[in-house]
Amino acid sequence: MAERDWYFKDYYEILGVSRYASREEIVQAYRQLSQGFDPGAGGDPGGIIFKDVSEAHAVLSDDELRAEYDVVRAMVAAGLPPPPVEEPADEEPAPEAAPRRPKLGVGGLGASNWNAAVVAVVVGCSLFLMFGYLFKASCIDNFPKDAYRITCYNDLQPLYGERLFDERGERVFPYIHARSVDEDGNGGADLTSGSRGAIEYPVLTGVFMWFTGLFSGDSSSFLRWSALFLAPFGLITAYLLARMTGWRALLWSLAPAIVLYSFHNWDLLVVAAAVFGIYLWWKGEPIWAAVLFGIGGAFKAFPIFFLAPLALDLWIKGDKRRTVRSAIAGGGTALAINLPFMLANFEGWVITYTFHQDRGPNYDTLWCTMRDNCLSTPFWEPSDLNKLTALLTGAFFLAALGFGWIRARKEGRYPFLPVCGALLCSFLLWNKVHSPQYALWILPFFVLIRVHVLWWVAYAIGDLMVYIGVFRWFYSFAVEQDFPALRLMEAGIWTRAALLLALFVVFLRSSAAHETTSDKRVALKEWLSQPLRRTPSEQT
């Protein structure tokens, strides 16, 4: 079979499978189409359609041929013409050594260009991570006095002493030795007034904090060691995004959020887990993707949300067995990670969640009620606000999942990544806590979903307004008794909220950035039922 034919034949569509289908799904589709197929029957003269089905199976079931075929189809999507047909020479030239076939890359790039994209993305991320550390370290020796003045604040330094040591200055293991104390020294779940081993983050983040603290003698060295251990997770994320999308992954590596938030908190951990899960889904390994989402949920909660669109993606493909297995794998992984802590000290483990249940809205959210120094919204009791945010978030979740189902019925595949992005937008929009570093959560979706770069620019501007406004407001409040930054913070909050609402819609209407097949509207059965039309050159 000539590789030139690949420019004109969509083998995925011929077999009726997704571009991301596993080898087992491809073989299963081929067997279903082959059973009872009579090439000599009417409607398929010469067995032409069956030949295409066989060619599709032969190419897509071979990993090397499939990789090269995907590159050719990416060229078709990019509008590149097929190679010209060489006319036979009058005289047969002297035989030459057969040229070696160049190794092809992915996403419409040759191997050299693809490798260059990966290198550029990783190097760019390395530079921005270095800038991020230098920015946070600029006030490392005069923390927290300079933290608000030059906006170099981070959560790592203050939480080092407040979460990892008891009242005697002895190290404690998170959750296992946890007990929180209020201002009077009594037990409780008020982590804002001090704690001993109780941490407001899920268990893997707490264990990472504890492990990093073993190398640290004070809060300054804790920041240094944390940056050293966190940086590889940012680089892994950059590498995986580049593998999936090529040069587009520079939207991750060169984002202002990398400088502002890589070492602000521990969110690089959960982002790396979520992106690794998406990468495994992209490679056709949905069960392992679910496992990574479960691991991510033990860092911070949001990757657990992706289990729902993952299950629907498998259901649409007709793979009900793996639908159930993925749900069990994701939920079981999260449970297996948490269970030892629950059994060892349930009260210490549950403090994390009772704290968030009982806390009020954060100052940089739409629900902010910090007297008259924040948004002018009515006061909300935590229990009332919990119900309202759950109702709004749940409604948006159902809308996103339902719209994805409608798209799947029309297109033949579930829009997994667009729905995941929309779910995250919903959570960030309505949650009563929206810490600044959550910008890292949504950043990969500007890479993974094919949206205009201006959305990325707009979100970066809105986020920067919130970041500068928050910490300059803290500085103004404490030092100058002046509130010019408050207006900037409020404007940033509303800008960010408007963008999240718009992105909820934009993501749902977009396609994944790595999709290369432009026509997904004709199902296989419809295609087989249409009269066969071939060009004169194909008939000869």
DSSP 153-215: --SHHHHHHHHSB-TTS-B--TTTT-EEE-TTS-EES-GGG-EES--SS-HHHHHHHHHHHTT
- pLDDT (0 to 100) of residue 36: 54
- pLDDT (0 to 100) of residue 219: 87
Give the residue-averaged pLDDT of 426-455: 94
| Same-domain status, 404 and 504 | yes
pTM for the full predicted model: 0.75
Above 50 in pLDDT, residue 201? yes
Range of the domain at 51: 3-83
- pLDDT (0 to 100) of residue 536: 39
For the chain, helix (H) and strand (E) counts, in that order, are 23, 3
The answer to the question of residue 534 being in a domain is: no
Above 80 in pLDDT, residue 298? yes
| Same-domain status, 419 and 497 | yes
Residue keyed to tokens 């990019």: 78
Above 90 in pLDDT, residue 458? yes
| Same-domain status, 252 and 353 | yes
10 Å CB burial of residue 55 (0-12, 13-18, 19+) is middle
Give the helix ranges, DSSP H, for 359-434.
382-411, 416-430
- CATH assignment of the domain containing 30: 1.10.287.110
- Is 261:247 a contact under the CB 8 Å cutoff? no
- pLDDT (0 to 100) of residue 116: 87
Three-state SS at 298: coil
- Is 204:337 a contact under the CB 8 Å cutoff? yes
Above 80 in pLDDT, residue 526? no
Q: Of the given ranges (193-197, 344-348, 485-489), which has the lowest mean pLDDT?
A: 193-197
- How open is the CA angle 240-244-245, to the nearest 5 degrees? 115
pLDDT digits (tens, 9 = 90+) for 130-177: 999 999 998 887 776 677 778 888 889 888 888 877 667 778 888 888
| Same-domain status, 199 and 336 | yes
- Is 263:156 a contact under the CB 8 Å cutoff? yes
If we measure between CA atoms, which residue out of 463, 436, 435, 432 comes closest to residue 369? Answer: 432
The letter for the amino acid at 506 is V
Beta bridge partners of 187: 181
The answer to the question of residue 268 being in a domain is: yes
| Same-domain status, 75 and 129 | no
The answer to the question of residue 164 being in a domain is: yes
| Same-domain status, 52 and 136 | no
CA atoms within 13 A on the CB side of 399: 18
The answer to the question of residue 126 being in a domain is: yes
- For residue 133 the two structure tokens come to 């550390």
Domain boundary among 83, 108, 139: 83
The letter for the amino acid at 524 is L
CA 222 to chain centre: 28
CA 182 to chain centre: 37
Q: Between helices 307-316 and 382-411, what is the axis angle to 10°?
A: 20
Which range of 75-84, 235-244, 518-527 scores highest in mean pLDDT? It is 235-244
Mean per-residue pLDDT over the chain, rounded: 80
| Same-domain status, 271 and 409 | yes
- pLDDT (0 to 100) of residue 19: 75
| Same-domain status, 129 and 79 | no
| Same-domain status, 71 and 200 | no
64 CB neighbour count, 10 Å cutoff: 10
The answer to the question of residue 514 being in a domain is: no
- For residue 420 the two structure tokens come to 């995941």
| Percent over 70 (pLDDT), the chain | 76
| Same-domain status, 486 and 349 | yes
d(CA 274, CA 33): 36
- For residue 497 the two structure tokens come to 């909220």
- Is 160:216 a contact under the CB 8 Å cutoff? yes
- pLDDT (0 to 100) of residue 125: 97
Give the residue-averaged pLDDT of 281-300: 94
Q: Would you give the DSSP letter of residue 37? A: -
- Is 517:73 a contact under the CB 8 Å cutoff? yes
| Same-domain status, 77 and 163 | no
Confidence band for 37, pLDDT divided at 50, 70 and 90? low
Above 90 in pLDDT, residue 449? yes
The answer to the question of residue 8 being in a domain is: yes
pLDDT digits (tens, 9 = 90+) for 354-409: 888 888 888 888 887 444 444 444 566 888 889 999 999 999 999 999 999 999 98
Residue keyed to tokens 């997904």: 520
| Same-domain status, 58 and 192 | no
Which range of 65-74, 95-104, 152-161, 220-229 scores highest in mean pLDDT? It is 220-229
The answer to the question of residue 141 being in a domain is: yes
| Percent over 90 (pLDDT), the chain | 44
Above 80 in pLDDT, residue 511? yes
- pLDDT (0 to 100) of residue 175: 87
- pLDDT (0 to 100) of residue 99: 41
If we measure between CA atoms, which residue out of 341, 366, 363, 336 comes closest to residue 352? Answer: 341
d(CA 229, CA 238): 16
Give the residue-averaged pLDDT of 53-64: 81
- pLDDT (0 to 100) of residue 358: 86
Give the residue-averaged pLDDT of 21-45: 67
- Is 209:174 a contact under the CB 8 Å cutoff? yes
pLDDT digits (tens, 9 = 90+) for 304-337: 999 999 999 999 888 889 999 999 999 999 999 9
Q: How many domains does the chain have?
A: 2
The answer to the question of residue 140 being in a domain is: yes
Burial code (b: 16+ CB inside 10 Å, e: under 16) for 129-156 equals beebbebbbebbeebbebbbbebbbbbb
